[in-house]
Amino acid sequence: MNNINNLFLKEPKVINIGIKSFAENAQKFTEVIDVNWNPPAWGDNKLADKIAELMEDSTPDSLGSKIKEANEKAFNRLVNSKPTLVDIVPAIEALPGMTENTILHAGAPVDWKNISGPMKGAIIGALIYEGRAENREEAEKLAASGDIEFAPCHSKNAVGPMAGIISPSMPVWVVRNDDFGNFGYATMNEGWGKTLRFGAYNDNVIERLHWMEETLAEAMKVVIKRLEGVNLKSIIGKAVQMGDECHNRDIAATNLFFKKIIPELVKSSFPADKTEEVISFLGKHDHFFLNLGMAASKAGLVAAHNIPYSTMVTAIARNGVEVGIKVSGMEDEWFTEEAPIPEGLYFPGYSKKDANRDLGDSAIMETGGLGAFAMASAPAIVQFVGGTTKDAEKYTKEMFKITLGKNTNYGMPTMAFKGVPTGIDIIKIVDKNILPIVNTGIAHKEPGHGLVGAGVSRMPKGCFLKAIERFVDKYNG
Amino acid sequence: MANKTIIYNNTYYDSVTLMNISQEIEKISGVNNASIMMGTAQNINILKEAGLADEKVEEADNSDLIVAVEADNNQITNKIKELVDKKLDDITRGQNEKSPSEEKPASLEEAVQEFPESNIVSISTPGEFAAAEGLKALKNDKHVFMFSDNVSLQSEIRLKRYAENKNLLMMGPDCGTAFIGGVPFGFVNNVNTGKIGMIGASGTGIQEIMSIIHRKGGGFTHVIGTGSRDLYKEVGGITMLNALKELSKDRNTETILLVSKPPADEIADKIINKAKNINKKVVICFLGYDKKIDKENLIIVDTLENAALAALDKTFSKNLDDILIDSHSNKYIRGLYSGGTLAYEAYILLKKVYPEVYSNIALDEKEKLSNQEESKKNTILDLGVDYYTKNNPHPMIDLSIKISKLKEEAKNPDVRAILMDVVLGFNANQEPASELSPVIRSIIEAEKVDIIIDVVGTDLDPQNYSKQVEKLQQAGALITESNFGAVKTVLKKL
């Protein structure tokens, strides 16, 4: 314990913030660390004061100590979560409060009239798939009529990549968080290119959705039953060691999942012709695991949500118009800000001009410590973040500065098996002026086109500033 | 318009690498369209449909790399070929790996993680951010030296009470000087270690005493600055009282010295009451505090020099009235100070002689200069006040304001003598005598004016006291051992 008497007896060891020559002069007499200081809170000194009040404090019963304890609890619940795939069932059966007229979407709540192009396309496709409309015109009319109830996937503990549309008949993965008893849900991933989640709704897209419902989901149900559940945590852990960050790169996780389920499918009485279809679909599909990872991440974050005084982020989600975040100690409030257009690499013929604003619930991967946060472990896709493995490492190191700890279940071989940076803290974000980064796909801004590129996106600071202000009002008002 | 298709045989790169390269190509001006992809049948079709590729493309197969560009002229297409060659070369050789740059911590939290053994944080950020950094430091159980000023009184009280609860030392805000266990903080002189501990709500007051004690052979355990407002009624002397309690228990400290500009009376009384009950010799110099208290081991003095002498058990004259005598001259004295406490000491000493002394820091409103650019009669100027430092560095660092004032005052035929300080030590101007000497020399040659200087410093200071004094003497200045000495000398000169 440091006290004045100790200072008098021992040599001062100095941290210098500010004038450099102070550090240089003290350095001639003792050990000094000079901080490369920048004004915190993006230069808002009043907010900097508020942040300092919230910071960790050893004084018992102080606000700082309550926040610290709450954050430890939230972090521990997240990293101790054991997501297990236990079933696949139609959304209307799995999700509480889901009706025939419910359509779930990515991100925070958004009105039909403000909805982004790709999300609009995906809703059109979902209504056609559900048999509620024959074509785009009918679907748009129905969507605008008020008969369809739109809600965020997150409101039902579900998550959906990109547009994230979940309609009542779509099968959803049911992921149970074993020790905590809560669930996370997601649809199955359709593949790459022109797909519903990127806003495409042509006949191929609709046909594929029907096949997934009638054949793929049935096959998955058979294998899950035979395996008595699939431990997703262990697949993610291995995949990180095999070079996946489990968001933009899921090839290892997908292969591990494939390896686990295919023998069971082949051994089962599932029809041989359909088995062949399933194998051939999964065999061509490098991202199939993404949605399972997302449901797993969501299941862990649900367990960490609703802990009073916690400043840990429990959801980051983009609806194509705004980025929204949730904070553990702030109940179900969304804190939103206009979504950025991702920085990325575009397929030939497309450019940033065609890109929609950032979209999708898949940022749940970063919220859970994976994706861009684990970039150092995914050298194969480092070119999305600027081209070199050093850049990737830099991103991961930067994310350590805004997270509560390391998830040692997911060790990164390239970083001496250090655990991934986990548990985004809004206090650290504002104190250090560092915004979370998210790996992402890029959708065309008009309905019907699909995927145009992939890249990274910095979450806008407005979400975190709003969350901090509200947190202060609530707990230090 | 020029179209060009380049084929690299048996050259495979993944699509991400290739998208990266095509982005680079598109940045070149004069390029209308560019695509770089592997020669699969599907890709060849895309290129043909886009009208980008010529018939050569048909020769390519799966393992060949195709670069297809549409540019303004052939020169540009050649440039693209060079760029692609270089990029592919870089990737093959891994040359685009940047070397790791040394990373400094960018926040207090990172610094604490990197250096957990640290025990004190020195803060000199802009004032509006200092309180937040200070609170974070205290929360991390670190003592604080806060040089920053412009921190609200409310924040100061909050920080000091918080520190008190954790038994941490909160020096400042607006704390210019400290010297803890031989380590310098802020503007401070380098002195020997010894048996004296000092606590001061005054930067240059501390420096003056430290320097005199060092030059007379004494030394210090710790010198603790409290910040300029610690003895305000609102703050209540929190830091001075806590530091006093701890120094009284510190086994290496035999004598305690307290120094301050005029404190609130009730705070001064409170501190003196505490000091009375300490079993060590305590010397107190609260400039402008007039009460006389008689108690063994408690010595109250009127000047900074006397404080130094008392701490060293040396004799000094207590009765200032015998020393400070009005010479009834019709000429005037001008004081040009970079140290606020030194300016204040000169002002109150001259007040004992003259009924009116003007100053920008006068306590009496009648004596306050309405215009800081117009000295009146006997005038003492503190050149470290906001008026002068708003757009310029502090005069301890940058002598230009002092020099221009010196030239201006010396020209005034009513001025007979100029009093000045030159403050040495860490972070102060590195060669003050070299900057001042030519100015002083030309004044002495041209005007009938004396320049009397208190040089605050030691031979251990980076500037070297003896060297600076010698240079100033050679230029014709009179150098005194103390600010009090300078005032005495100036009165004799009149």
Domains located in chain B, CATH noted: 2-93 (3.30.70), 107-174 (3.40.50.720), 178-318 (3.40.50.261), 320-493 (3.40.50.261)
Domain span at residue A376? 305-476
Residue B492 has pLDDT above 50, yes or no: yes
The CATH number that applies at residue A354 is 3.90.1700.10
Residue B99 has pLDDT above 50, yes or no: no
Cβ within 8 Å of B, A 22-81: 22-23, 25-26, 29-31, 33-40, 45, 48-49, 51-53, 55-59, 64
The helix (H) or strand (E) run that includes residue A418 is strand A418-424
The helix (H) or strand (E) run that includes residue B75 is helix B74-93
Measuring CA to CA, which residue among A447, A343, A450, A442 is closest to residue A387?
A343
Cβ within 8 Å of B, A 416-435: 428, 431-432
For residue A59, is it within any domain?
no
For residue A156, is it within any domain?
yes
For residue A63, is it within any domain?
no
How far separated are the first and last CA of chain A, in Å rounded?
31
Task: Tell me how long chain B is.
Answer: 494
For residue A64, is it within any domain?
no
pLDDT digits (tens, 9 = 90+) for A193-232: 789 999 999 999 999 999 999 999 999 999 999 999 999 9
Kindly provide the b/e burial profile for residues B407-446, where b requires at least 16 CB atoms within 10 angstroms of the residue's own CB: eebbeeeebbbbbbbbbbbbbbbeebbebbbebbeebbee
* A429: its two tokens: 């974000």
pLDDT digits (tens, 9 = 90+) for B284-303: 999 988 777 778 789 999 99
A226 & A98 share domain: yes
CA–CA gap between residue A292 and residue A181 (Å, rounded): 17
Among the partner residues B112, B120, B123, nearest to A7 by beta-carbon distance: B120
Residue B103 has pLDDT above 80, yes or no: no
User: Within an 8 Å CB–CB cutoff, is residue A349 touching chain B?
Assistant: yes
B53 neighbors B70 (Cβ within 8 angstroms): no
Under the banding of pLDDT at 50, 70 and 90, the label for residue B263 is confident
Q: Which residues of chain A have pLDDT under 50?
A: none
The answer to whether the Cβ–Cβ distance between B115 and A13 falls below 8 Å is yes
Mean pLDDT confidence for B259-277: 91
pLDDT digits (tens, 9 = 90+) for A318-344: 999 999 999 999 999 999 999 999 988
Q: How far is A286 from chain B (nearest CA, A)?
A: 15
User: Within an 8 Å CB–CB cutoff, is residue A401 touching chain B?
Assistant: yes
The CATH number that applies at residue A175 is 3.90.1710.10
For residue A462, is it within any domain?
yes
The answer to whether the Cβ–Cβ distance between A35 and B104 falls below 8 Å is yes
Q: Return left, alpha or beta for A222; rule: phi > 0 is left, psi -120 to 50 is alpha, else beta.
A: alpha
The answer to whether the Cβ–Cβ distance between A7 and B19 falls below 8 Å is no
The answer to whether the Cβ–Cβ distance between A387 and B96 falls below 8 Å is yes
B17 neighbors B74 (Cβ within 8 angstroms): no
**Residue ending a domain, choose from A240, A261, A293:** A293
Angle of CA points B305, B307, B310, to nearest 5°? 110
A158 & A277 share domain: yes
Q: Where are the beta strands (DSSP E) in A188-232?
A: 230-231
Give B-chain residues touching A33 at CB under 8 angstroms.
105, 111, 114-115, 118
* A27: its two tokens: 């350095």
**Residue ending a domain, choose from A265, A293, A321:** A293
Give A-chain residues touching B112 at CB under 8 angstroms.
15
**Alpha-carbon distances, residue B175 vs B56, B61, B151, B478 (angstroms):** 77, 75, 11, 31
Residue B380 has pLDDT above 90, yes or no: yes
Among the partner residues A4, A10, A48, nearest to B129 by beta-carbon distance: A48
Measuring CA to CA, which residue among A38, A54, A423, A424 is closest to residue B136?
A54
Q: Return left, alpha or beta for B64; rule: phi > 0 is left, psi -120 to 50 is alpha, else beta.
A: beta
What SS3 state is found at A13?
A: coil
Q: How far is B164 from chain A (nearest CA, A)?
A: 10
ipTM: 0.91
Angle of CA points B87, B89, B95, to nearest 5°? 85
The answer to whether the Cβ–Cβ distance between A7 and B141 falls below 8 Å is no
Please count the other Cβ atoms lying within 10 Å of the Cβ belonging to residue A359.
Answer: 37
A430 neighbors A387 (Cβ within 8 angstroms): no
Among the partner residues B100, B136, B168, nearest to A2 by beta-carbon distance: B168
Phi, psi of B418 (to 5 degrees): -120, 130
Interface test with A, best of B21, B86, B161, B183 (most A CBs within 10 A): B183
In this structure, is the dihedral angle defined by the CA atoms of residues A209, A210, A211 and A214, taken in order, positive or negative?
positive
Query: Tokens 């009375």 correspond to what residue?
Result: B276
* B169: its two tokens: 């030392």
Measuring CA to CA, which residue among A48, A50, A30 is closest to residue A39?
A48
A126 & A227 share domain: yes
Q: Work out how many domains chain A is built from and give that number.
A: 3
What SS3 state is found at A186?
A: strand
A436 & A458 share domain: yes
